[in-house]
Amino acid sequence: MVVDVVTNPSLGPLMELLSQTIEAIIEVAITSKNVLIKKKSFAELSSYLDRIIPLLRELNRKEISDSEGLENFLEILHQQTKVAKQLIGDCRERNRFYLFVNSRSIAKRIEDITREITHAMSCIPLASLDISMGIREDIDQLVNNMRNAEFRAAIAEEEILEKIELGIHERNVDRSYANNLLVSIAEVVGVSTDQAALKKELEEFKSEIENLQLRKDKAEAIQMDQIIALLERADAASSLEDREKKYLMKRTSLGNQPLQPLQSFYCPITKEVMVDPVETPSGHTFERSAIEKWLAEQDGHLCPMTLTPLDTSMLRPNKTLRQSIEEWKDRNTMIVVASLKSRLSSGEEEEVLHCLEQLQDLCEQREMHREWMVLENYIPCLTELLREKNGDIRKCALVILCLLAKDNYDAKERIARVDNAMESIAKSLGRRIGEGKLAVALLLELSKSESVRDCIGNVQGCILLLVTMLSSADNQAARYAENVLDNLSFSDDNVILMAKNNYFKYLLQRLSSGSVL
């Protein structure tokens, strides 16, 4: 865009301001193309500013005399253009994750800029100025367009931001939740989802937060700290060794004996430890479901402790007590997880099975429990149990290993690194269908890791057993086997082995018969 810019100071302050504003608008139009986030919103703002240029050019050429409305418009336009330049500068230079979590406020700032300029334009005395009718009509239409403009986070951005807020509110510490959030953010802002790239971006994000704290922007810094705490659960945030060291230090400091719950943890109605405690205006705390049921069943809706009027709208979450209960539960569970490990090698089948049932239950409760088992180095113990004569023990071990491997690439690699672990899993493939199905489910989870696929293919007879399982009477087991082979096919070496074991002959037969698993 080329504009005749007048910089002659003899034309007066108004014309000088007009010339500076034209230059600023041109710069905004150029630099807004290189923002890292909210590209469409900045492009829309830039298009509005661009449509003001013809008015400014005509005012510039005709050297329109000063007027209060015109001067006010130019001052606001110049000021808001400077604000836009600063915002664009931030959105070109700052960390992408930081910009993303601030996308709502960025959209709000763009909208505020637009609103300020719109209000100023509506006050221009166009009728009294020597301006062409075409430009007047264009400005009137522009004012209407800008007045109705809405800037907000995109749907995909909003969904991720809502998940972040939910994770913070519910104190979600599951690694898979953090992994999914981190990948989703990366995809939206155009960052590679490779672990190294994610780690680099996250480290830069943390540096931005430290800068916030140095600038004493405390409110925003607190919010960002909460987001960092949530995302730091992701695999990319730290190495397995770092997490292991941190975990072992904490677990060692807890001692060996579980603590009894405090009296305040019990609900007065159920007499059980609360999960979702809520507080009444009188200061009494109950399990939410229990007090809601009480109020629904009692005439008059009275508090069971004070017999004063009470309804569900008066209940407030007791967040402090809930956090204390969750910390108590985590402490005791961590001690239990550590204590069960030694019992796996007791030699007594009944004891080992009971221990495995407890571990499976803990695995199914929370992802955090699975993480602790990995950090407690349960994987070698569990793979050793795959050699046991007792089929029930082997099946329990397969189930737990599959749970540990789910959404955890560190666990997948640890399983693959254990001596003879893959061979033991392959042996289970050839046993009875119940055990074989559990083994192929574990292999399916392991085959999602690129680094583990070759380990599976290198196990003698494993691919042949998988191909054989394709004809299993159990359709789910057959589907698992097909999916494992699909994952293994990303490796050229595995494809050669699959060809040698008649996998492609099987595929051709299935295609010719029109059968589908």
209 and 358 share one domain: no
**Residues for the chain: how many in total?**
517
User: What does the pLDDT look like over 412-459, one tens digit per residue?
Assistant: 999 999 999 999 999 999 999 899 999 999 999 999 988 899 899 899
> Which residues on adjacent β-strands are paired with residue 273?
266
Domain end, chosen from 147, 173, 195, is at 147
138 and 209 share one domain: no
- The alpha carbon dihedral of 283, 289, 290, 293 has a sign of positive
First to last CA, the chain: 61
> Which residues on adjacent β-strands are paired with residue 285?
279
CATH number at residue 363: 1.25.10.10
Give the separation between CA 405 and CA 385, rounded to whole angstroms: 17
Query: Could you tell me if residue 3 is inside a domain?
Result: no
Whether 397 and 383 have beta carbons less than 8 Å apart is answered as yes
| pLDDT score recorded for residue 6 | 42
Query: Could you tell me if residue 140 is inside a domain?
Result: yes
| pLDDT score recorded for residue 359 | 97
| pLDDT score recorded for residue 512 | 65
Determine phi and psi for 383, rounding to 5 degrees.
-65, -30
365 and 476 share one domain: yes
Query: Could you tell me if residue 316 is inside a domain?
Result: no
141 and 168 share one domain: no
220 and 86 share one domain: no
142 and 114 share one domain: yes
| pLDDT score recorded for residue 5 | 44
Query: Could you tell me if residue 302 is inside a domain?
Result: no
Please give the order of strands across the beta sheet that includes 285-287: 285-287, 277-279, 316-317
Domain end, chosen from 238, 263, 281, is at 238
Taking residue 319's Cβ as centre, other Cβ atoms within 10 Å add up to 12
| pLDDT score recorded for residue 267 | 97
89 and 172 share one domain: no
Query: Could you tell me if residue 497 is inside a domain?
Result: yes
Could you write out the DSSP letters of every residue in 358-412? HHHHHHHH-HHHHHHHHHTTHHHHHHHHTT-S-HHHHHHHHHHHHHHHTT-HHHH
Query: Could you tell me if residue 342 is inside a domain?
Result: no
Query: Could you tell me if residue 283 is inside a domain?
Result: no
Whether 352 and 387 have beta carbons less than 8 Å apart is answered as no
Look at residues 443, 445, 475, 438 and name the one whose alpha carbon lies nearest to residue 457: 443
Query: Could you tell me if residue 56 is inside a domain?
Result: yes
Give the separation between CA 72 and CA 91, rounded to whole angstroms: 28
429 and 470 share one domain: yes
Residues ≥6 apart with Cβ < 8 Å to 125: 67, 69, 70
Q: With a cut of 50, list the residues of the chain below it in pLDDT.
A: 1-11, 517
* Alpha carbon 82 to its chain's center: 34
Domain end, chosen from 217, 238, 259, is at 238
Could you write out the DSSP letters of every residue in 67-95? -HHHHHHHHHHHHHHHHHHHHHHHHHHS-
The domain total for the chain is 3
Q: How far apart, in Å, are the Cα atoms of 318 and each of 203, 435, 475?
A: 34, 46, 48
369 and 482 share one domain: yes
123 and 160 share one domain: no
383 and 471 share one domain: yes
387 and 496 share one domain: yes
User: What does the pLDDT look like over 460-487, one tens digit per residue?
Assistant: 889 989 988 988 889 999 999 999 999 9
Domain with 176 in it:
155-238
Give the separation between CA 146 and CA 115, rounded to whole angstroms: 7
Whether 423 and 463 have beta carbons less than 8 Å apart is answered as no
